[in-house]
Amino acid sequence: MGYTVHAVCPDKEEGDYVRTAVHDFEGDQTYSEKPGHNFALNATFDEIDETEYDALVIPGGRAPEYIRLIPWGRPRGSPHIRSSTSQ
């Protein structure tokens, strides 16, 4: 399709890694959190210009909450970045 994907994380730079977690259901309607993979970042968050992208994907888990609660994670005016509180 010709798209380039950049994986970024706040406060980290290209070449850094982020840890992921695996939620494993143990039965009895509970789960445990186990170490997942070390995911390599291929771009630096602070250097990204959101107007140069066609889409934004924020994976589930704690990432959406984390990004929503910090001031620089709120929408910056790009038509691709909207929240339920954006007007």
Q: What is the Cα 6 distance to its own chain's centre?
A: 11
Backbone angles phi, psi at 29, to 5 degrees: 60, 30
* Alpha carbon separation from 52 to 31, 43, 45 (Å, rounded): 39, 14, 13
Q: What is the pLDDT of residues 2-31, one digit of tens each?
A: 888 999 888 899 999 998 888 888 877 788
Is the pLDDT at 87 greater than 50? The verdict is: no
Average pLDDT for the chain? 78
